[in-house]
Amino acid sequence: MENEVPTLQTVVDEILDARGSVPDERSILTAVSGIDAAGKGYFTGRLVGALRDKGVRAVAINADAWLNIGRFDPSNPPEHYYNNAIRFEEMFTGTVLPLRDQRSLRVEINYAEETSTEYERRSYEFEDVDVIVLEGIYLLKREFQAHY
């Protein structure tokens, strides 16, 4: 059984079960992570939709909103990208963790597209969120695992 691929319903059930162990004042934070073009966004959309169908106030947050403009370095491309692709500290401390801990948040971030040469300001507003589905690369690094 441990090698079975979980179904969407299995993931929904696990998240709903977790709700019982998380204080009502907090949102559940879950991650959908994997390599680029693996279908994370597609799965996240289906997961958020399935949770909403159950009456859960779920939102998707895409880590790509915190892309780092200086994420490429020709002298050491793989390691530099791994360490610098996403502005994780800014994402977690400025948006994700405050939303998880307070369930609601209004925030303005420095946003970058894949081809951006400078950041643009973008506002987000979340109200009374039950479940945050954070989607992106490298979300399960050891240093982030305690957040979930």
- The answer, yes or no, to whether residue 72 has pLDDT greater than 70, is no
CATH 3.40.50.300 at 8-147, yes or no: yes
Q: What is the pLDDT of residues 86-120, one digit of tens each?
A: 999 999 999 999 999 999 999 999 999 888 889 99
Does the predicted TM-score (pTM) go above 0.85? yes
Domain ranges (residues) in the chain: 8-147
For 116: left if phi > 0, alpha if psi spans -120 to 50, otherwise beta; the answer is beta
45 or 71, greater pLDDT: 45
37 or 73, greater pLDDT: 37
In angstroms, the CA 105 to CA 117 distance is 28
